[in-house]
Amino acid sequence: MLQSIHVKGLAVVESLNLELSQGLTVLTGETGAGKSILLTAMKLCLGERADNGLVRPGTDKADITLEFDISAVTSAKKWLLDNDIDDDECLIRRTVSSDGRSSAFINGVKVNLKSLQSFSQYLVSIHGQHAHLDLLHSSKQCQLLDDSCPSKNTLERCQVAFRHWRILSDELSSLTGGNTDNENEKRLLKYQIEELELADIADFSYDDLVSEHSRLSNMSKIIEIGETQAQTLYEHDSMSIHAQLSSSQLALGELAELSNSFSATAEQINDALIQLQEASKELRHTLDQQSADPEQLDLLDQRLGKVHELARKLHVEPKELPNQLLTLKQQLEMLENNEERLSSLTNEITQAESSYSKAAKALSTLRIKEGENLQKKITKTLKTLGLPDGHFTIQVNVDTDSRPQENGFDSVQFLVTTNPGMPAMPINKVASGGELSRISLAIQVVATQANITPTLVFDEVDAGIGGGVAETVGMKLKELAHNKQILCVTHLPQVASQGNTHLYVKKSKGSDQTKMLVQSLNSAQRIEEVARMLGGVDISEKTLAHAQEMLEKAI
């Protein structure tokens, strides 16, 4: 369950620390008091995309932390362990900077939004005030039916079978697509490979070839500079650096004998003289090995020309030719093995389609069974929500001839009739706005009973109803909260009176900024708030008595 919410610097929230408890918690307050900001904070912390416009003016960032008790939520603990995150606690933190950047953390470990959303699904399920609009879409109807199933194993088996089939189908497409003339393709590959092998490309180094070509092309300059330096460094009898350094060595040696202060300098010159002699010998040795080779230079010119020609033909850089040769050989091998692989692949796809069909049919059977069970419960709930003649039907249309889809063969459609003797029709065609709200609420209340998510949030899903129906809605939510944590934002006193905990949201206007406050109401304060919801601005003694009666009746 959600234990606490900590918000700082988000819109009208300057700083908020809110402790929550099990059961039904209702949030009330005047329109515009800021109830929606609490839900916005929760959604941000659970993975919704950030908007820097929500950062409170004058602050650098918004900071939201949700603390959960997941001791009994095995799916959440498993996710943490699978992702190498400590599961001793559960803290989700989200920061949104004024420059638009955001960060998310689970137990101090930074995660991306996709991971955060993946984890959050095990913790909280939010039902917004426009949920009835989502229910008009067949995909949402199918998802809601699947969510109501006590186990997701059947759906997961179908999805795994589909992904296996798709991988094999994609491979088949890549083997056959664009390669209808395999023989011409093979002939071209063989010709290209032969050209590269004749050019001895397999053990070829473009950098070494360019380096050797440069050396031979500049041989006369190399010898000229080398000879000059050999003379300058050592070989000129009297004018060489060696001769001059030797003279300095003798003089400094004599100076060191006269004063120890010069010993270090004399040793350094002596070391330099030794290094100069060695460098000179190495230079002479290397120079003696240099010689012009016009024939070799001509061969290198030809080889470079051939290399550049092959690179242009294959549209690659010259140094990439060895890798290109390997790629061409792999392509040829794949084409030559195509027939054998195609035969094997066809058999594998047939088996994969059979496995998928078996899993999809099992999913269809489960959906039909769960649909029948769910529609009875929703129909029963509709009658308590002011639709005594309402009848709800879940139609599962199975098309076993369709191409495999990730979620099976089925399309799901919700049908309803609210008048006796009238046929059931899709809910968007027969229900009025008020009826649609009640139908949506009935679906959500019934479907979430099977939902394993420990915390459910209802954001004004009771809009458009009132009177005895509203009281029934409150009782249904309280009943649902017997084994779950329910948070409900409401404007209905009949719903608010059913809460185990009552939070009041209000705005406080300062000299420069407005901020939101959340207050946990005691018994006397609850009577006043329910009375406000009943009677508006002028609250009479009768209104207070009515509010007290509602609260006492709800206990």
User: How many angstroms separate the CA atoms of 323 and 335, rounded?
Assistant: 19
Give me the pLDDT at residue 130, please.
Answer: 57
pLDDT along the chain (555 residues), means of 10: 94 90 92 81 91 88 95 91 92 93 94 93 78 71 85 91 93 69 80 89 84 82 84 82 87 88 90 90 86 82 87 90 90 78 86 95 95 93 85 93 92 90 82 70 76 81 75 86 89 93 87 80 94 84 92 86
Give me the pLDDT at residue 164, please.
Answer: 95
* Alpha helices per DSSP H over 46-152: 74-82, 113-120, 131-134, 138-148
Give me the pLDDT at residue 134, please.
Answer: 64
Find out whether 274 and 253 touch, Cβ atoms under 8 Å: no
DSSP string covering 379-401, please? HHHHHHTT-TT-EEEEEEEE-TT
Give me the pLDDT at residue 181, please.
Answer: 63
Q: In what order do the strands lie in the sheet with 410-417?
A: 391-398, 410-417, 425-426
Find out whether 327 and 243 touch, Cβ atoms under 8 Å: no
Among 437, 426, 379, 366, which Cα is nearest to 145's?
A: 366
Give me the pLDDT at residue 546, please.
Answer: 93
Among 208, 211, 212, 201, which Cα is nearest to 321's?
A: 201
Q: Tokens standing for 28?
A: 């009330």
User: How many angstroms separate the CA atoms of 550 and 107, rounded?
Assistant: 42
Among 17, 4, 36, 1, which Cα is nearest to 490's?
A: 36
Within 10 Å of residue 397's Cβ, how many Cβ atoms?
11
The model's pTM? 0.61
Q: Tokens standing for 280?
A: 């000179």
